[in-house]
A = this chain, B = another copy of it.
């Protein structure tokens, strides 16, 4: 990109908090805000992080105000004495003046605690304070109102740090002000699972060349590779160009794309199930509930998800799913045979149309020569079809292996529903084992 990040039309992001400076928590707010700004046609500029220090926060606001049209700040609005964003803003916009207690803000706080039947700690009243020339931004999600003010021509917005409070406040009070009419930076994300990033890059070829407009790039996370397309310019042209590049990418990459623009993999599986009136159940060992959690993240999943079994102990596999003890003894709890009996047993126990099972060694202990940590078996059983099991060998630590397992298990279900149960998948180490209907 040629544009400089300090051109006056840009929006600076400023994150406040010792816990950020000290690296105790990751700052996911700034990158979320950067993406949201682009969605409304605004360009993110410089990004800074400073600790809970009144003078530093004020100095940084002044510096950023000299070369940005707006500053969006997050954090430092809590009720405690180490939350200093209100005071710093006052030092910059109303130097020498005391903070006021905003009557409407104080009313909101009292109502918040009253509604919850709790006494309001006196310290919370600090959250209703503001510099005289600032105004409060409503926060229905929490106790900390936001603040809006101006440093000269630069608009300043102070939002609370917790994402579940910050995000709706940005959408409600900040986005409408910063939106750049007529100009757009439009983005599309195409999500894939089952192929590596370099394979996708080869298929996308010259679409990924730098300088191409719209731009095409890939990012990988949790086994999901996302193709990101960005188109900027006058709104109408940007929209047409975006759609053309999306079509081009889709034509090259094919059915491995399961969804767009943040759609969850489980939601894509749910769509396939709903379309055919099928229901799903799960039988989890190494994922311990994570697969069910991914499925039920999807609002409305009760229409196609029955529930399932977390059979962490072998006794549970035998009692709840009817896995034969002999199978576990002969092949091990981590085997294609056990995975297949888990999935078939889950169908029988629930009456669902399709069942997914997982069993594996998530580590750090429990690995062996023939089944090292990361060895996982996934089986998919279809009421009106066979059962398919495959072996994966996942890299990474316990959390990575479990997350990959849950995601690739959904991918296996998806390709089975698409009629491609034996499709080659990333990290899948062996041929697919197919068992006819029992």
Contact = CB atoms under 8 A, between A and B. Distances in A.
A79 interface: yes
5 contacts: A4-B55, A26-B31, A288-B307, A306-B316, A307-B313
Interface in A43-73: 44-53, 55-56, 59-60
A35 B28 CA distance: 17
Contact of A35 (B22, B219, B400): B22
Given A25-B221, A47-B48, A80-B197, 11 more contacts: A3-B53, A21-B34, A24-B219, A27-B31, A80-B210, A82-B217, A121-B202, A288-B297, A290-B292, A305-B312, A307-B309
A165 B228 CA distance: 22
A19 interface: yes
Contact of A220 (B162, B307, B315, B316): B162
A38 interface: yes
Interface stretch (A90-98, A323-331, A389-397, A411-419): A389-397
A276 interface: no
B400 A164 contact: yes
Residue among A49, A142, A307 with the most chain B CB within 10 A? A307
Given A24-B217, A34-B23, A297-B399, A5 B50 contact: yes
Interface residues of A, number: 118
A286 B45 CA distance: 41
A118 B198 CA distance: 12
Contact of A1 (B4, B23, B52, B118): B52
Contacts of A221: 25, 162
A26 B4 CA distance: 21
A259 interface: no
A79 B187 contact: no
A80 B289 contact: no
